[in-house]
């Protein structure tokens, strides 16, 4: 594989939606739980569910598995 095709593969992989499969949960002061979806590529938490792309890395996102996502309690 040459450099050009590696760059192309990398660019394309950002445009192919990756399933969001983790949600991070934070306990609130009132004892509730705030949840934020986690980007499957850069693993940062996102402020909003169902956004088309990650704010941080630009990865296209697929939300079809979000109902079965793992919740990680911090
Ligand atoms: Zn990301």
- For ligand 1, the distance from its centroid to the CA atom of residue 60, given in whole angstroms, is 9
How confident is the model at residue 4, as a pLDDT? 81
DSSP-derived letter for residue 40 is T
pTM, to two decimals: 0.81
Residue 9 — very low, low, confident or very high, per pLDDT cuts 50/70/90?
confident
Q: In Å, how far are 6, 15, 20, 32, 51 from 62, measured between CA atoms?
A: 23, 11, 6, 27, 9
Q: How much is the average pLDDT of 5-10?
A: 81
- For ligand 1, the distance from its centroid to the CA atom of residue 45, given in whole angstroms, is 8
pLDDT at 57 over 60: yes
The residue extents of the domains of the chain are: 3-73
- For ligand 1, the distance from its centroid to the CA atom of residue 39, given in whole angstroms, is 5
- Closest by CA position to 14, among listed 40, 37, 38: 40
């Amino acid at each position: 594989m040459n450099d050009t095709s590696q760059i192309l593969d990398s660019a394309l992989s950002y445009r192919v939606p990756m399933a969001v499969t983790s949600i991070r949960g934070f306990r609130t002061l009132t004892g509730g739980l705030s949840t934020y979806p986690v980007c499957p590529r850069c693993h940062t938490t996102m402020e909003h569910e169902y956004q088309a792309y990650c704010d941080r890395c630009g990865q296209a996102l697929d939300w079809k598995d979000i109902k079965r996502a793992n919740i990680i309690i911090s």
